Copies of this chain bind each other. A is one copy, B any other.
Amino acid sequence: MFPGATDEREVTDTATGTDRNVDTDTGGEEPARGGANFVVVGAPLDVSTTFQPGTRFGPRRIRTFAETFDDYDRRTGQYFSELGVVDHGDVRAWDAVPGYLEWLEGTLRDVVWDDAVPLVMGGEHTVSLAGARAAEPDAFVCLDAHLDLREEYDGNDLSHACVTRRILELEGVEEAIVLGARTGSEAEWDRADEDDVTVVPPEEVAAFSFHDRLEGRDVYLSVDIDGADPAYAPGTGTMEPFGLEPREMRDVVRDVASHACAFDVVEVNDRDDGQAASLAGKLLREFVFSAAESSV
């Protein structure tokens, strides 16, 4: 269970006699009647990872390395454990990706219909597609070293390398903003030149401002941990040097949180000494603190 979160079953147990879809919207307040403001869902899909596998252990790693974090957040004056975060546990993965994504989408749609914000922990980046289908955002904001704009990869159009493109194809998704991207195929870069994609290179992320671009829109915020420089997150499938610093990623998360209808952090594996998982858990918490604060 994510440290500070509540076990879903406990919440459900106390919710006897009420309609879940009605009573779970707690309006940013501490959930009073068994509802949740945020629901952690592990999605340990690990099929299309190109190079170093192990992202199936991502949810477990993130939960584990989050154990050391204080419940209290000084900046916002909030306690994580009081923000209505429920841990659903993992949606166990198998290797038939289309079916898994549908199943995962179902779970996440339940979260959305309960007016809670899903917090997905990957697993490979592909799981964002399930998240976006469930959350139906207007815009997709992503921290990533890669464009993930391929039409397909090795014949697979559900590869993690295609996820931003697939999300752009969803009805209602108006644009993607990819921060920290530094590599892609020529076709991906061409796709990125179209109007519905904004690429912010790593060197420009610190100075980048969303201004009022996200106002009034539902944003899906996705953190591919390889957006960070490998020094900060060596435990990921495809390290790409010259990346972001954690504070730059944190500031993006803080900026976007108040507009976000869903969040995920993906591509963490177990092939380092905990750096990637530690950063991932911290960014997830930053998201919750910022989102909760803005919703009051």
A274–B13 Cα distance when bound, in Å, is 36
Copies per complex of this chain: 6
Please tell me if A194 contacts chain B, counting CB pairs below 8 Å.
no
Q: Main SS of the interface on chain A? A: loop
Which among B68, B70, B184, B229 is the interface contact of A246 at CB below 8 angstroms? B229
A155 to chain B, nearest CB (A): 6
Asked if A22 is at the interface (CB within 8 A of a chain B CB), the reply is no
Q: If the complex has contacts A54-B53, A156-B96, are A185 and B274 also in contact, measured as CB distance less than 8 A?
A: no
Chain B min CB distance to A65 (Å): 7
**Residue A208 at the B interface, CB < 8 A?**
no
Pairwise interchain contact B74-A279, C-beta atoms closer than 8 A: no
Can you name 17 A-B residue pairings with CB atoms under 8 Å?
A9-B10, A13-B13, A47-B95, A51-B67, A51-B68, A68-B238, A68-B240, A70-B184, A79-B186, A94-B154, A94-B155, A229-B232, A230-B275, A230-B279, A234-B272, A239-B275, A242-B246
Chain A interfacial positions (CB closer than 8 Å to B): 7, 9-10, 13, 46-48, 50-54, 56, 60, 64-65, 67-72, 74, 79, 94-96, 99, 154-156, 159, 183-186, 189, 203, 229-232, 234-235, 237-242, 246-247, 250, 271-275, 278-279, 282
